């Protein structure tokens, strides 16, 4: 029997590529020099799309695949998949929730600690000889015992809050409604109010049209010159122009970002604004998590093409 044709939007580690190629006829659009010509040749046969969180699948790609049945995302975020296009044609969408929450939360907390205690700067201080020439590093700010705010108390936000509890922090959060599993933490109605009540603002909300620029200039001003913004969600949740302005004029104290509009390219002004830590979208990037994400991506494709229930369907588009 012919293997189902899958349009592959981005590369996976070898431990996923081998089993994917054994079971499916993978057509790698990211290797093509002319993506439009590639689509014209291969998309008519594609019954599935395998993509990554940050790459998704646009309406143009979905429309080019008349036989499309499923879009399987390697990532929890599916904001880059055109859900309206999928819904209109009854195309299933799957993602990889849960398996990455612990690593993403670890990374968010690591960025908070590294940025507040000057750990990257400290490494440079030793390497470039400042320690011997200039003496001790400038003093940094404490993390434990301060106030944390979580914007979006979903799976990842919950794991962040759980970890921060160990730092004796006062934890507040905002979401569409209070969460029954957050008895020890304080619900706050708006992002701006949350920002006034915290020193570290963690952005962990799933991105959507509604959350675009949910962290705007007013939220950053409320976070203030002693505050730090940490974003491990999607760049679209933060108004980058407002963030650059707030860091440049000292309205906001510091930021740590794992995600950028248009990544891997980024607004060049980020390279020169003060007090910012830049990371290459690597919060879920451990061997353990990426293996689990790959296994779940494949399990969803396998389930679909064997007529079994999907393991982790995106409920917003489920028929
Ligand atoms: C990426 C992510 O998918 O889970 C998400 O939504 O953004 C990440 O885990 C990862 O970089 C692989 O593409």
- Residue 201 pLDDT exceeds 70: yes
Mean pLDDT of 84-98: 98
Residue 318's pLDDT band (cuts 50, 70, 90): confident
Task: Choose, from 234, 290, 298, 304, the residue flagged as catalytic.
Answer: 234
If you write DSSP's letter for every residue of 134-185 in order, what string do you get? H-SPPP----TTSEEEEE--SHHHHHHHHHHHTTT-EEEEE-SS--TT-TTS
Query: 232 is written with which tokens?
Result: 């491990």
Confidence of residue 319 (pLDDT cuts 50, 70, 90): low
Is 50 touching ligand 1 by the criterion CB < 6 Å? Answer: no
Pocket test for ligand 1, best of 49, 51, 57, 77 (most atoms within 8 A of CB): 77
Is 290 among the residues known to form the active site?
A: no
* CA gap 319, 316 in Å, rounded: 9
Q: Is any atom of ligand 1 closer than 6 Å to the C-beta of 294?
A: no
pLDDT average, residue stretch 227-231: 99
234 is catalytic: yes
Whether residue 176 contacts residue 228, with contact meaning beta carbons closer than 8 Å, is answered with no
36-62 pLDDT tens trace: 999 999 999 999 999 999 999 999 999
Q: 5-99+288-317 has which CATH code?
A: 3.40.50.720
* Helix then strand then coil, % of the chain, to nearest 5: 40, 15, 45
Of 231, 228, 76, 214, residue with least CA distance to 154:
76
Ligand 1 touching residue 75 (CB < 6 A): yes
CATH, domain range 101-278: 3.40.50.720
Active-site option among 23, 117, 141, 281: 281
Average pLDDT (21-47) is 98
User: Which helix or strand (DSSP H or E) is residue 240 part of?
Assistant: helix 240-248
Q: Classify the complex by whether its ipTM is higher than 0.85, answering yes or no.
A: yes
Atom 4 of ligand 1, nearest CA residue: 75
- Residue range 189-195: mean pLDDT, rounded: 98
Give the residue, by CA position, lying nearest to ligand 1 atom 6. Answer: 77
Task: Specify whether 54 is catalytic.
Answer: no
Residue 275 has pLDDT above 90, yes or no: yes
pTM of structure: 0.96
Calculate how far, in angstroms, residue 209's C-alpha sits from the geometric centre of ligand 1: 19
Q: Is 74 in the pocket of ligand 1 (CB under 6 A)?
A: yes
Q: Where in the chain is the domain with CATH 3.40.50.720?
A: 5-99+288-317, 101-278
- What is the pLDDT, as a whole number, of residue 317? 87
Q: Ligand 1 pocket test: pick from 13, 30, 53, 231 the residue with the most ligand atoms within 8 Å of its Cβ.
A: 53
Whether the CB of 54 sits within 6 Å of ligand 1:
yes
Tens-digit pLDDT profile for residues 57-88: 999 999 999 999 999 999 999 999 999 999 99
The residue among 193, 200, 146, 194 whose CA lies nearest residue 172 is: 194
């Amino acid at each position: 029997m012919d293997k189902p044709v899958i349009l592959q939007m981005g590369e996976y580690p070898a431990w996923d590529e081998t089993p994917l190629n054994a079971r499916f006829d993978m057509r790698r659009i990211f290797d093509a020099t002319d993506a439009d010509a590639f689509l014209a040749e291969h998309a008519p046969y594609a019954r599935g799309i395998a993509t990554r969180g940050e790459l998704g699948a646009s309406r143009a790609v979905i429309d080019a695949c008349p036989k499309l049945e499923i879009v399987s995302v390697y990532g929890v975020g599916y904001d880059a998949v055109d859900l309206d296009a999928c819904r209109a044609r009854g195309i299933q969408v799957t993602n990889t929730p849960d398996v990455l929450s612990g690593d993403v939360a670890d990374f968010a907390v690591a960025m908070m600690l590294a940025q507040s205690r000057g750990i990257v700067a400290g490494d440079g201080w030793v390497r470039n000889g400042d320690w011997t020439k200039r003496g001790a590093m400038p003093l940094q700010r404490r993390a434990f015992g301060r106030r944390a705010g979580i914007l979006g108390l979903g799976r990842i936000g919950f794991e962040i809050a759980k970890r921060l509890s160990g730092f004796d922090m006062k934890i507040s959060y905002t979401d569409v409604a209070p969460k029954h599993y957050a008895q020890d933490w304080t619900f706050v109605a708006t992002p701006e109010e949350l920002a006034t009540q915290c020193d570290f603002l963690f952005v962990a909300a799933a991105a959507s049209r509604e959350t675009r620029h949910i962290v705007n200039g007013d939220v950053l001003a409320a976070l203030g010159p002693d505050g730090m913004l940490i974003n491990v969600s999607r760049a679209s949740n933060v108004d980058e122009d407002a963030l650059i302005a707030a860091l440049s004029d000292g309205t906001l104290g510091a930021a740590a970002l794992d995600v950028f509009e248009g990544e891997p390219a980024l607004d060049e002004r980020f390279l020169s604004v003060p007090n910012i830590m830049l990371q290459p979208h690597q919060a879920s990037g451990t061997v353990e998590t990426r293996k689990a994400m790959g296994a779940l991506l494949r399990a969803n494709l396998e389930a679909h093409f064997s007529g079994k229930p999907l393991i982790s369907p995106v409920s917003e588009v489920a028929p």
